[in-house]
Homo-oligomer: A and B are copies of this chain.
Amino acid sequence: MDAFPDEVTVFEVGPRDGLQNQKKTLSVKTRIQFIDKLSAAGFKYIEAGSFVSSEKVPQMANTDQVLTGINRHRNCAYPVLTPNLQGLENALNAGATHIAIFGSASEQFCRKNINCSVAESMVRFRDILQAAKQHQLIVRAYLSCVMGCPYEGEVAANKTASLAEQLLTMGCYEISLGDTIGIGTPGQVTKLLRAVKAVLPVNKIAVHFHDTYGQALANIYTALMSGVAVIDASVAGLGGCPYAPGASGNIATEDIVYMLNGLGITTKIDLNTLLEASYFICRELNCSNQSKVAVARQSL
């Protein structure tokens, strides 16, 4: 077991992973306001949107306008998800400096989600990474279903480790390991990270743990103990779980920041400013706040 990191980067995914699963599609103006409020809280990374089909994901339509409309903070990057070369092109035109690609550690999930095998997806990613390199774009990779798959069940840790290594070799600066259906428990986190750390430096690893079974914070705490220092989270716990409708999805950023503050770990995120963004977006979406910290603070 390693020492805790002194500083942790909380990677905010609410404006993309959170909003893309909402019933209500927000206006470009509201999405810009949301991101600007998050920027004010001090994040270093805010995932700003996704260049995907606006027919399939209307919530992410006009991400180019969002990206050009936000007030970019100097110390913050605003990555966008680009599933293909067309997405990359559009992201470039909107002034993106950071992009993200979305792979899977599960064969069946990969087929259902991006309609190709895992091996084929790696070929696609290679093309994207080559283009990204030409344009000096910084690329992050997600690997989903690292703790299990809604279609095929168990996913081997060494498969995740091997894919993570390939993505790093291709040029991704960081691999975010996703427990997409939130089924993992702390012992599994330790085993998975042991396998991934055998092939990847720990500072290349991020964790993206969902809270579907209430385990996310314990799992994240375990990841911190393994030396991981980048944690994905979604303000107000926005997102839900497409594989268990009504269940929880992303861990709430506020609850992680609260824990990190308690542990004396630096995040440079101001919790009160973050809570303002949280209350704002829940009002706009007319949804209940999934952050326990946000609810507790509001009720005091």
Residues of A within 8 A of B (CB): 1, 182, 184-188, 211-215, 217-218, 220-222, 241, 244-248, 252, 255, 258-259, 261-264, 291-293, 295-296, 298-300
User: Given A187-B264, A262-B185, A262-B186, are A255 and B295 neighbors across the interface (CB < 8 Å)?
Assistant: no
Residues of B within 8 A of A255 (CB): 213-215
A215/B259 in contact, CB under 8 A: yes
Distance between Cα atoms of A295 and B182 in the complex (Å): 13
Residues of B within 8 A of A246 (CB): 295, 298-299
Distance between Cα atoms of A215 and B293 in the complex (Å): 9
CB distance from A188 to the nearest CB of B (A): 6
Residues of B within 8 A of A212 (CB): 292, 296
User: Given A221-B222, A244-B300, are A292 and B185 neighbors across the interface (CB < 8 Å)?
Assistant: no
The count of identical subunits is: 2
Distance between Cα atoms of A286 and B248 in the complex (Å): 20
Distance between Cα atoms of A184 and B263 in the complex (Å): 10
Cβ-defined partner of A221 (8 Å) among B218, B293, B296? B218
A293/B186 in contact, CB under 8 A: no
B295/A258 in contact, CB under 8 A: no
Distance between Cα atoms of A299 and B244 in the complex (Å): 5
B258/A213 in contact, CB under 8 A: yes
Residues of B within 8 A of A292 (CB): 211-214, 247-248
Residues of B within 8 A of A291 (CB): 214
Cβ-defined partner of A247 (8 Å) among B182, B186, B262, B296? B296
Cβ-defined partner of A218 (8 Å) among B188, B241, B259, B261? B259
A214/B217 in contact, CB under 8 A: yes
Distance between Cα atoms of A218 and B259 in the complex (Å): 9
CB distance from A279 to the nearest CB of B (A): 14
Distance between Cα atoms of A215 and B254 in the complex (Å): 11
Residues of B within 8 A of A184 (CB): 262
CB distance from A157 to the nearest CB of B (A): 14
Residues of B within 8 A of A299 (CB): 241, 244-247
Identify 16 residue pairs between A and B in the complex whose beta-carbon atoms are under 8 Å apart, listed by A's number.
Answer: A184-B262, A185-B263, A186-B259, A187-B262, A211-B292, A212-B296, A214-B252, A214-B291, A215-B255, A215-B259, A217-B218, A218-B220, A218-B221, A244-B300, A247-B295, A248-B296
